[in-house]
Amino acid sequence: MRDLLVIGGGPAGLATAICAARAGLSVTVVERQRGDIDKACGEGLMPAGLRALERLGALEGLDRRRCAPFRGILYTQAGGPEARARFTRGDGLGVRRVALSEALLARAGTLPSIEIVRGAASGLEVLADHVRARVSEREVTASLLVGADGLQSQVRKLAGLEGRPHPRLRRHGLRRHFACAPWSEFVEVHWAAGVECYVTPVGERVVNVAFLWDAPLGHLSHDFASARAAQHPQHLSHDFESVKVSFNELIARFPSVQEHLQSAEVTSESRGAGPLLRPALARAKGRVALVGDAAGYVDAITGQGLSLAFMSAERLAEQLAPLSRPFDARVLSDALGRYHRSLRRAWLRYALPAQALLGIARRPRLRSAMLGLVARAPSLFSRLVEDFAG
C-alpha cells in the first residue's frame, strides 16, 4: 500500500509528490492527460512561488527558452492613471505552463518513491483504513487521497467539501501566446469595462496575453467553446456558462496591447477556464486532503495560485512526515487538522486582496480613484504588491 495517492499531475500534484517523497513517503500520482500538461492561466510565478520552486529542486530544470523574468506589476487603464511597483525581494518569472510541468516531472523522476501513472482514476473509494482507485486496469491503494485535480475537482466533491459558489459571480479566463519580444519588464494588467488583460513575458520572444471577465449568459463563441471542450468535454454542458465573447473581441478593448501585437504570430490556440470561483468547505476531511485549486479558489487576479499551491504541498508534507505508516485514522485526522489551520493566514493573504481587486475591477469609478491614489503614492502601492507577491 502506498502512503499517498495524488489525483492530478499538474504543478500542485507534482509538488505534493516531491515534498512527500523527500519526507520519506511513497506516492502514486495519477494524471489523466497523456500529452503535455497545459492550463489556461497567466503563467506568472510571483517571487514567493519562484523561491518555492527552487526549494523543490525544479528551478534548475526549467527550459530557459520558455521563461522570462519580470521585475514587478503595472496596473493601467486607457486614458487614465497607471501604477507600477518593483519587487524588492527577488524577481518573478513568466514560464510556459508546459515547461513548468516538465521541470517538475523531471524532478519527480529523480525520486524513486514517486510513481507517475497516466490514465483516468475510476472507482475512487475512501474507506476507514485506506483509500483506493482503479487506474490503467489495476487497483491502487493508499493511506491518504490527495486531490490536486484543479477547479472542477472530483476529489473535493467525493469528500463532500464542495462549497456553494456565488450564483452571479461567474468569472472566466482566456489566454493565447504571441511570438513577440516583451515590451515591458513588468507583468502588465490593463483594465477596461468588465474585463482585464494580463500581459506576461514567457520567453525571449513570447508573451502570454490573458483575459479575465465576468461572463454574461449567451452562446459560446467558437474559440472559447473549443478551448473548453478540449480540456473538459465531460463538464462543458453543465459546469460552464455560455459566454458571448472571442479573443479578438476582447483584445479590441485594449488598443495599446493590440498595437504591440499587430504583426506578431499567434503561437498557441486560445485556451479557456472557468467559472473561477470555487469554494471549498475545508482542505481536508477523513483520509482526503486538497491542494492547489482543488482546495478552493477565488480568482486569478493576484497571480498567487502557484505560490499557494507550492506552500500547500510543503505544509502537507511537514504534517505527514512524523507519522507512522500506515497512517492511523485518528493521528492522520489530527495532522490534517494542523495542515488546514497552517494555511489560514496564507489563504487570507490570497483571498482578501483577490476580493478587494475584484471589487475594484467591477466598479469603474472606484477603479479610477484607486489607480489615481496609488499612482500618487508609489511607496504605498509597492508595499501592497510586496505583501501579496512575497
Q: Show the domains of the chain with their CATH numbers.
A: 2-38+97-165+278-354 (3.50.50.60)
Lowest average pLDDT, out of 111-120, 215-224, 340-349, goes to: 215-224
Hey, how many other C-beta atoms are within 10 angstroms of the C-beta on 228? 23
Banded model confidence at residue 150, pLDDT cuts 50, 70, 90 = very high
Distance CA 372, CA 21 (A): 49
Q: Is the dihedral of CA 371, 373, 379, 381 positive or negative?
A: negative
pLDDT at 336: 97
pTM (2 d.p.):
0.89
Per-residue pLDDT for 4 more than 90?
Answer: yes
> How much is the pLDDT for 167?
64
Query: Cα–chain-centroid distance for residue 143?
Result: 26
Sign, Cα dihedral of 59, 304, 165, 196: negative
**CA separation, residue 263 to residues 92, 203, 378 (Å):** 27, 17, 34
Of the candidates 148, 159, 169, the one whose C-alpha atom is nearest the C-alpha of residue 9 is 148
**Dihedral angle over CA of 45, 50, 52, 53, nearest 10:** 90
Residue 130: phi and psi, rounded to 5, are -170, 175
pLDDT at position 19 is 98
Distance of CA 336 to the CA centre of its chain: 22
CB-side exposure of 156: number of CA atoms within 13 Å? 25
Q: Summarize the confidence of residues 104-122 as an average pLDDT.
A: 95
b/e per residue 44-68 (b: at least 16 CB within 10 A): bbbbbbbbbbeebbbbebbeeebbb
> Is residue 234 very low, low, confident or very high in pLDDT (cuts 50, 70, 90)?
very low
